Amino acid sequence: MDAVPESSSPSTSRRLLSLLTVLQSRRDWPAPVLAGRLDVSERTIRRDVDRLRELGYEIDATRGPAGGYRLRAGALLPPVAFGDEQAVAVAVALRLAASSGGPLADAAEEALSVISRLLPAPLGRRAQRFAVEAVAPVGAVGVDPGSLGAIEAAINACEELRFDYAGSEGPVRVTEPHHLLWHSGRWYLLAFTPERDAWRVYRVDRMRLKTHRGRSFPRRDVPGGDPARYLEGRFRGGDESGGWPCQGEIVVEASREELEPYVVDGTLLDAGEGRARVSLGSWSWGALAAECLRFDRPIADARPAALRDALVEVARRAVAAARD
């Protein structure tokens, strides 16, 4: 590609913003591709990259025929360049977060104030036209953003978390944290507890983190493969186990895909031959038996024995009612 005369390039400031926007859009950019994208010479790209580095952006360079540039996260957040649509989207998202009553509402309000002052007038008016409001769920509980950050750091580093848990006696809890989830106004940690060889759900607002994290651990797969669905199935009132008092499973003569829209309160596994294994919970065995009959399909292999007994009793009552 022929070099573009420097005199035909945009102003330096506009060119730097364009370069920054492009670098943010994907991980790696070969120098020739960058030059072609911005319609400047590779020499100009090198100079502009140096200017961005002076402004605090950490940009890695690789040499050779396939060499190029990569923008990486730095210790400090330097100015970020957004396109018009991106800027409006960020402002609307912050407005929604600020009105949600969640743990980051105050921080979102402050960030929205900063962005609103910097937006050009036309974009500011566009953002204000999105009159979005979030209704905080009844019983929403605030959480220290620092605690969320510490838990997220432990999840990403695969390091054990040590914490006291309010409302329960006993030694310090030691868990392998895997997922943070927001549910009905509260934050929950989904973690594996080696001592009990089981998955547990903890309310973050009840956790009092210890200063030092524990050992590293191998990442595990959540039962069923979907953390949100697992929480839906386990969460019933907010204690650490979050499970129904009566839990069982059946095999339904329908595929997992067919049943997915109707099983938001349990877990689904493929049982082969167009069938699915469904795990459910309820407050009594009779209620659980009734739940198992809601699919209008043949069922089999009910477990445990208490569920089988309850199915027999429900069937007896149904026959008696039909005779009346």
Strands (E), the chain: 29-30, 58-62, 68-72, 161-165, 173-183, 186-193, 198-203, 207-209, 246-252, 267-272, 275-282, 299-303
Query: What is the DSSP annotation of 219-234?
Result: --PPTTS-HHHHHHHH
Ramachandran quadrant class, 224 (left: phi over 0; alpha: psi -120 to 50; beta: rest): left
What are the pLDDT digits (tens) for 174-195?
999 999 988 767 788 999 998 8
Question: In the β-sheet with 173-183, what is the strand arrangement from edge to edge?
Answer: 198-203, 186-193, 173-183, 161-165, 207-209
Strands 161-165 vs 207-209: parallel, antiparallel or unpaired: antiparallel
What are the pLDDT digits (tens) for 241-290?
345 778 899 999 999 888 877 776 677 888 889 999 998 888 789 989 99
The confidence band for 196, taking pLDDT boundaries of 50, 70 and 90, is confident
Place of tokens 């067919």: 258
pTM higher than 0.85 for the full model?
no
* Distances, alpha carbon 48 to alpha carbons 51, 60, 67, 68, in Å: 5, 13, 16, 13
The confidence band for 238, taking pLDDT boundaries of 50, 70 and 90, is very low
Q: Residue 28 corresponds to which tokens in the numbers above?
A: 């790696």
Residue 102's pLDDT is 63
Residue 275's pLDDT is 93
Chain mean pLDDT for the chain: 79
* Distances, alpha carbon 7 to alpha carbons 4, 17, 46, 50, 52, in Å: 8, 18, 17, 20, 21
Residue 9's pLDDT is 43
- Alpha carbons 58 and 21: distance in angstroms, whole number: 14
Question: Stretch 286-300: mean pLDDT, rounded?
Answer: 90
Residue 236's pLDDT is 45
Do 158 and 217 meet the contact criterion of CB atoms below 8 Å apart?
Answer: yes
Q: Is 119 exposed, middle or buried (0-12, 13-18, 19+ CB in 10 A)?
A: buried
Q: Express as a percent the part of the chain with pLDDT over 90.
A: 19
**More confident site: 268 or 137:** 268
- Alpha carbons 233 and 256: distance in angstroms, whole number: 16
The confidence band for 240, taking pLDDT boundaries of 50, 70 and 90, is very low
What are the pLDDT digits (tens) for 76-113?
555 666 777 777 788 778 877 776 666 677 778 888 78
What are the pLDDT digits (tens) for 59-70?
888 776 667 888
Residue 11: pLDDT above 90? no
Q: Is 275 exposed, middle or buried (0-12, 13-18, 19+ CB in 10 A)?
A: buried
Q: Residue 25 corresponds to which tokens in the numbers above?
A: 């859009």
Q: Residue 211 corresponds to which tokens in the numbers above?
A: 């200063």
Q: How far is CA 223 from the centre of its chain?
A: 17
Residues 6+ apart with CB under 8 A from 8: none
Residue 300's pLDDT is 94
Residue 6's pLDDT is 41
Residues 6+ apart with CB under 8 A from 17: 81
Greatest mean pLDDT range, 20-29, 252-261, 297-306: 297-306
Q: Name the nearest CA neighbour of 70 among 40, 26, 15.
A: 26
Question: Stretch 290-308: mean pLDDT, rounded?
Answer: 92
Which ranges in 26-83 belong to alpha helices (H)?
31-38, 42-54
